[in-house]
Copies of this chain bind each other. A is one copy, B any other.
């Protein structure tokens, strides 16, 4: 039988990262390619204790069918948690619990985009989100960076192009893959542009709590008084990703449509995970826990940056993150990035080729992404040294 697949899937490839990660199952491989939180950061004992308590005292509450919007206890606890430093949940807003924030990206495109509708994204941006949009027939319009911030002139133009975009997908804090953070001024300006043009914003904030330097910058959601922002908040990076729990906060009409989409998609998210997360948020000191994660990531990030400074050819550029999990490395134009990545893989070091994160992955790209949250300190030292050797090897050939 020859299978005929839907057009919408033809632009969605199996993730480049995934393919690289397959190679990294080799225990010899040093992987800077993943985006996994550090396993040291999981509150293992607390989860064990909460889980035992739930399964002993109220097992049916997590084994029977639940409601689509999510566990009411988690919605309350998460609302309190995400509102603790700034008001992301407004009077007209509602929350839905999803199976990871990947599902928020899919639902946003599913409820908002007709086939061929345009979504504006940062260029580069989070591959999983771009694939979700494409898998529902949306077309990407990428906006480049200029001097470390999104190019607002290019954004203005993109907003005025036909067809009018359905929403802008943005990761303002410690962006994936660049590790860069949007300034308050740029956030305000983008919100104004959204309002002037009647275009929604999908603000993805999985890393916001992972700031290890500098002051927190208000989310675009907290600045919005006009129902323009769909906010994706995740518990994957601050509790545990394998549980697949995220929270979407948005105006009621949007959450109601997402609820219908979720009902048709997976009915509701795993209840054990929701209940465990609710009790963890209620009964433990989240800010102390987050502070512990921040210290782990700060140390790992600085170690990687120090080693890069020591070993990388001085013509190689990279971002200096103040939070999150990623460093974005840019090679001189004379060096072919894909050849570099291939050489690294041959020497058992995995990084992700930057073109994987572009609105169009056939565009020329001299960057790649490095992750510091997953590897051990030893692997960071060992892997960066090897990458450094390749920078010298390739730059001496090219010059």
Q: Are A264 and B5 in contact (CB under 8 A)?
A: no
Chain B positions within 8 Å of A28 at CB level: none
Closest residue of B by beta carbon distance from A138: B6
Q: Looking at the complex, which of A41-49, A74-82, A284-292, A309-317 is the stretch in contact with chain B?
A: A41-49
Q: Are A59 and B36 in contact (CB under 8 A)?
A: no
Q: Which of A59-105 contact B (CB under 8 A)?
A: 59-60, 62-66, 68, 98-100, 102-103
Query: Contact flags (1/0) for A103-126 with B, using CB distance below 8 Å?
Result: 100100011111101000000000
Q: Are A64 and B259 in contact (CB under 8 A)?
A: no
Q: Are B39 and A63 in contact (CB under 8 A)?
A: yes
Q: Are A254 and B48 in contact (CB under 8 A)?
A: no
Chain B positions within 8 Å of A64 at CB level: 36-37, 39, 42, 240-242
| Of A59, A100, A117, most B-chain CB atoms within 10 Å | A59
A113→B135 CA distance, assembly (Å): 12
Closest residue of B by beta carbon distance from A113: B6
Q: Are B270 and A270 in contact (CB under 8 A)?
A: yes
Counting every copy of the chain, the complex holds 2
Q: Are A263 and B15 in contact (CB under 8 A)?
A: yes
> Contact partner of A266 among B100, B260, B268, CB < 8 A?
B100
Q: Are A9 and B226 in contact (CB under 8 A)?
A: no
Kindly state whether residue A295 has any CB partner on chain B within 8 Å. Answer: no
Q: Are A5 and B268 in contact (CB under 8 A)?
A: no
Chain B positions within 8 Å of A1 at CB level: 198, 200, 226-228, 251
A281→B213 CA distance, assembly (Å): 48
Q: Size of chain A's interface in residues, with CB distance under 8 A?
A: 81
> Contact partner of A267 among B56, B100, B240, CB < 8 A?
B100
Closest residue of B by beta carbon distance from A262: B102
A69→B351 CA distance, assembly (Å): 23
Chain B positions within 8 Å of A44 at CB level: 55, 59-60, 63
Query: Contact flags (1/0) for A1-37 with B, using CB distance below 8 Å?
Result: 1011111110011110010000000000000001011
Q: Are A270 and B244 in contact (CB under 8 A)?
A: yes
Chain B positions within 8 Å of A198 at CB level: 1
| Of A4, A111, A228, A265, most B-chain CB atoms within 10 Å | A265
9 A-B contacts, Cβ less than 8 Å apart?
A: A5-B111, A15-B263, A36-B65, A51-B51, A63-B242, A99-B270, A102-B265, A244-B267, A244-B271
Q: A interface vs B, CB < 8 Å? A: 1, 3-9, 12-15, 18, 34, 36-37, 39, 42, 44, 47-48, 51-52, 55-56, 59-60, 62-66, 68, 98-100, 102-103, 106, 110-115, 117, 128, 131-132, 134-135, 166, 198, 200, 226-228, 240-244, 251, 253-254, 256-257, 259-261, 263-273
